[in-house]
Structure 1
Amino acid sequence: MRTVSTASIMLGAAGSVLALTPLDTFYPPTLNDTSYISNASIGTYGGIYKAGTNGPTEGTPYGTYDYCSMPHPRTQEYKEPEPIGKGTVKGKLVYLEYLQRHQRRTPYNILPGGENQPYQCDNVRPYLYAGPNSQSGVQPIPMYAQTYQDPTNPFTPDVNGTCQYPQITVGGVQDGYQHGRDLWKVYGEKLSLLPAKPNDRVWFRSSDSALTQGSAGAVLRGVWPEYDGALPLHQMVSSVDTVNEGYSCDAIDTTLDELESTAEWKEHLTVTDTLRSNLGSMLGATSSSWQDTFDHFSDNFQARLCNGYDLPCSVTNSSDCVTTEMADEVFRAGDWEWNYYWRTNPYVKKYIQVVEGLFIGEVLARIQAVQDGTSTLDYTHIFIHDGDLGPILGSLGINALRWPAMGSNIAFEVWEAEGKHDDLYVRVLYSGQPVETIHGTLDWIKLSELVDIMSPYVPSDIVTLCG
């Protein structure tokens, strides 16, 4: 486990000021222990949880864990792998596998007692239309969804305003465009891997979610701002999708039940009992879906703060509001849960296998094809969810896993030593920096070593494993 740097930058946290570098904010050294949750003096451990309505959003200093818009590779900070940068090895980047979570959005989880603030989304247009695969056919009018309330409808929504839940926000679109511009400057201009316009050596995929699809349009427009054609965004049939828990697998639920029955899990509920009780009574959130994990509270608070809204108040008592200190503890508990899900629980290998093992196998197959000389791709970009990035980072053995936030990204860079195709190396970046793991910092490792690290999480027979 890494320790907090002494040569550090001062970052604010509720109740104290911690001496942390931006990289430190990704790796809290006490995250494996429930004391991380209960220690109010560390606030958000340097993490940023606030942004305006509009973007692009960048945490300060850049590279800090920023839930609203995570850092990503950009030229101002990007450094080539150490052997390349120092000139001890000459080589070039030959393949990029880029995985990212969608950009910021409205919440999934609306407070059961109702929301005390309206959400407005008139400043963003979710486009919805279909057309033929040829320009010679009938071309549709580009249609977008516009949410409204009719005065004759006797039913009132849980949240006033013009948003659907969840949907990408205007800030998320603007963040995505900047994300793409930065990727082009690194992998297009600097490293000459990306083509000037899309060709048959690039490939894109998303889940079946409008969030990932909308993010893809924004990010890829940033990569190619002048491109005037259409692009295929590949998706699997939702019932067998290997991302976003698409396929049916009983072992996912049974393994989750097992890990949430451990003494460690129960301890984290004990130390947060007062917090959960207070939030439940204030916000009408007393059901098990709100009380058994911190997923719903975290999601609701994050979406508010990351889009220019305030923390919620009771709809029956406007002076009874969630405080910053309460939200900080919710976020710390959320971090602890994600670290437990994908790093420290006693069933973690099986849990990663059943949730994400098939997709990890797909990633390794594409990387292995580069090694075998059979790859037809230079650049793959896949738009997925936090629930996909978490197990992938777990399979890499990341030292500490905070909740993979909006726009979180993993870049698998495959480098070829000059004149030696068989001598391929991989660098894995998480949100722009080489990921720090139990196997060391993944800045320059043999491609075969990466396969050895991740292969145990690829199930040999997923059908049998799922029961």
Structure 2
Amino acid sequence: MFYLTSAALLVGGAFAQVPSALYGTFYPKNINTTEWISNDTIGTYGGIYQAGTYDWNVENKTYGTYDYCFMPHPRVQEYRLPAPVANGSVKAELVYLQYLQRHQRRTPYNILPTGENQPFECDNIDTYLYAGPGQGVSAQAPIDVYGETYTDPTNPFVKTYIPGTCQYPQLTIGGLLDAYIHAQDLWGVYGEKLGFLPSCPDNTTWFRSSESPLTQQTAGGVLRGIWPSYSKSLPLHQQATDVDTVNEGFSCSYRNTILADILNTSAWQAQLQAAAPLLAQLEPFTANDSAWTQTFDHLSDNFQSRLCNGYHLPCAINDTSDCVSMTQADEVFRTGDWEWNYYWRAYPNAKTYIQTVEGLFIQEILARFAAVEAGTNTIKYEHDFIHDGDIGPVAGALGISSLRWPGMGSNIAFELWRIDGGSIYARVLYSGQPMETIYGLLEWLPLSQLVGILQEYVPENIIQLCNTSS
């Protein structure tokens, strides 16, 4: 364990107000305005949206830059102990780490309605698909089979789809390589620097994913990167798909009602009006399909996935000279940022929306915290492999000052530290640095204050809430 000693003891625990020295591209001040959408001079606000197919070396990038393709994360070069621990005003021991991580790079979910002019190739990554007998079951192990996607030339639907060797979505080779690097950096901080992680997985470690192969395959890469010499299998815990508390697993009709209200608010309509000239320019790609014009989710996803894996922006099927420009893509990305900030921060009923989407998962996090405080928790490191749709509402519940779309590998680290006398203090890192929030910098605060922030996002009765009629 890592200790720093001092005769002095910090009491009270006010929120830090000093702004982070890093991450200037993470917290735009004007993200709530339609000017954020339509002002081309903003560009990407310093963000990065491009990476090569095998680009996993981030040494040439400025650490702390919003990088949609491979978000920053705790790294030993930049990691700093909590200020009161570092300056010696307290003696403290890290006793619990809960690490929330979005999966790494992938192919798009959304294929343009008019079809795609470029193939997407995934024959450089094998996605294994097999089951084996459980421990204690006497049966032969299976062959390690993997999926290999192909396009049959006789299939007429391919003409309005996308040729290539990928599923949509699926982890790309760049995503797998990013997972290794992400993990090696985590080990550098929590394994080597702090001496906190065990030398191999044991009963103090616990891993969870959603039902998605994206999160499961990311977990395989990350866990290999943390423990490169580990030779046994590991359980990756998942809840049943229909009742999963992440990735909107459980059904909730009121959640859909709220989403419909979001799309009808005057603020949402104003942002669509601000983006109307752009939507008109992109009509050859969207075919004016409402799924592609009522939100910028599909366009952002399609463009991000291409640029993050070494591909070009799309061109029209019937006119290869009509291609999406980077200026247009930048505005798409800015609009996507605006929408994510609206969902989880600016929307007047964001609290209830977060409750219906992520309230039960937040409740699980708080149960872990309570067990740590009571001294009954045997787990000291939990790693949850989840989605942007989980990172966003958790960040919103924490009161993040402004929220850009959580990129690939986005992460939230909850560190719990026990100080002399037994009190638990907390720190929350967002993509590697203390999160900037409406409460100040979440650098060092009594656990009770962090619990108080999150508790209001736990619904009193989720079943009753989901059955709300209006």
Q: Does 1:269 align with 2:272?
A: yes
Deviations 1:191-222 (CA, angstroms, capped at 9, x unpaired): 11111000011100100000000000001100
Counterpart residue type for residue 391 of structure 1: P
Amino acid at match of 1:293: T
Alpha-carbon offset, residue 245 of structure 1: 0.5
8 Å contact from structure 1 (residues 106, 166) kept in 2: yes
The match for 1:278 is 281
In structure 1, the residue matched to 2:104 is 103
CA distance in structure 1 between the partners assigned to 2:111 and 2:386 by the alignment: 22
Query: What are the within-5 Å matches in structure 2 for residues 264-343 of structure 1?
Result: 264-280=267-283, 282-343=284-345
Q: Which moved more, 1:254-263 or 1:357-366?
A: 254-263
Q: Which residue of 1 aligns with 2:125?
A: 124
State the match for 2:85 in structure 1: 84
| 1:466 and 2:466 correspond | yes
Q: CA RMSD in A?
A: 1.7
Shift of 1:462: 0.3
Matched ranges for 1:4-403 at <5 A: 22-58=22-58, 60-134=61-135, 136-151=138-153, 153=155, 155-156=157-158, 158-280=161-283, 282-403=284-405
Q: Distance in 2 between matches of 1:285 and 1:252?
A: 28
The residue type paired with residue 32 of structure 2 is: N
Question: How far is the alpha carbon of 1:256 from its aligned partner?
Answer: 1.1
Q: Which residue of 2 aligns with 1:13?
A: none
Structure ranking higher on relative contact order (CA contacts 8 Å, 6+ apart)? 2
**What's the counterpart of residue 14 of structure 1?**
none
For the Cα contact (< 8 Å) 1:115–1:312, is it kept in 2? yes
For residues 396 and 264 of structure 2, what CA distance do their matches in structure 1 show? 20
Whether the 8 Å contact between 2:286 and 2:292 is mirrored in structure 1 is no
User: What SS is found at the alignment partner of 1:374?
Assistant: coil
Equivalent residues, number: 449
Aligned-residue offset at 1:91: 1.0
Q: Deviations over 1:385-443 (max 9, x none)?
A: 0000100000000000000000000000001113x22x110000000000000111000
Following TM superposition, by how much is the alpha carbon of 1:261 offset from its aligned partner in structure 2, in angstroms?
1.5
Residues 205-264 of structure 1: per-residue CA shift (max 9 Å, x gap): 100000000000001100100000000001111000000111110111111111222111
- Paired with 1:427 and 1:459, the residues of 2 have a C-alpha distance of 24
Q: CA 1:150–1:312 in 2, change beyond 3 Å: closer, same or farther?
A: closer
The unaligned stretches of length 5 or more in structure 1 are 9-20
SS of the residue corresponding to residue 61 of structure 1 reads coil
Contact 1:360 1:458 in 2 (8 A): yes
Question: Which residue identity does 1:416 align to in structure 2?
Answer: R
Q: Distance in 1 between matches of 2:176 and 2:34?
A: 36
Give the structure-2-normalised TM-score.
Answer: 0.93
Q: TM-score, normalised by structure 1?
A: 0.94
* Shift in alpha-carbon separation, 1:111–1:151, aligned structure 2, 3 A: closer
In the alignment, does 2:418 pair up with 1:416? yes
Matched letter for residue 52 of structure 2: G
Identity %: 59
Q: Partner residue of 2:12?
A: none
Q: Is the 8 A contact 1:314 1:321 kept in 2?
A: yes
**Shift in Å at residue 119 of structure 1?**
0.6
Q: Which amino acid aligns with 1:424?
A: I
In the TM superposition, what is the alpha-carbon distance from 1:55 to its structure 2 partner? 3.1
Rounded to whole Å, the distance in 1 between the matches of 2:431 and 2:376 is 29
Distance 1:154 1:257 in 2: 35
Q: Note closer, same or farther for the CA distance 1:325–1:287 as it changes in structure 2 (3 Å cut).
A: same
Work out whether residues 98 and 381 of structure 2, in 8 Å CA contact, stay in contact via their aligned partners in 1. yes
Tell me, yes or no, if the aligned pair for 1:57 and 1:69 is still in contact at 8 Å: no
Paired residue type of 1:130: A
Q: Is the 8 A contact 2:245 2:361 kept in 1?
A: yes
Amino acid at match of 1:461: N
1:343, 1:397 within 8 Å by CA — same for their partners in 2?
A: yes
Question: Which 5+ residue runs of structure 2 have no aligned equivalent?
Answer: 1-16
The alignment partner of 2:146 has SS state of: coil
Partner of 1:430: 430
Give me the whole-angstrom Cα distance separating, in 2, the residues matched to 1:364 and 1:167.
32
For residues 129-159 of structure 1, the C-alpha deviation after alignment (integer angstroms, 9 at most, x for no partner) is 1001137531111111011233554553611
Q: Secondary structure at the match of 2:429?
A: strand
SS in 1 for 2:320: coil
Q: Name the SS of the counterpart of 2:305 in structure 1.
A: helix
Q: Which amino acid aligns with 2:274?
A: V
> Is the Cα contact below 8 Å between 2:263 and 2:294 reproduced in 1?
no
Q: How many Å apart are 1:40 and its aligned residue?
A: 0.7
Identify the residue that residue 12 of structure 1 maps to in structure 2. none
1:97–1:381 contact (8 Å) kept in structure 2: yes
Aligned to 1:412, the other structure's residue is in SS state strand
Give the Cα separation in 1 of the matches to 2:57 and 2:361.
30
SS at match of 1:36: helix
User: Residue 318 of structure 1 aligns to a residue in which SS?
Assistant: strand
Q: Distance in 2 between matches of 1:466 and 1:152?
A: 46
The Cα of 1:273 is off from its aligned counterpart by 0.6
Return the offset for 1:286.
Answer: 1.2
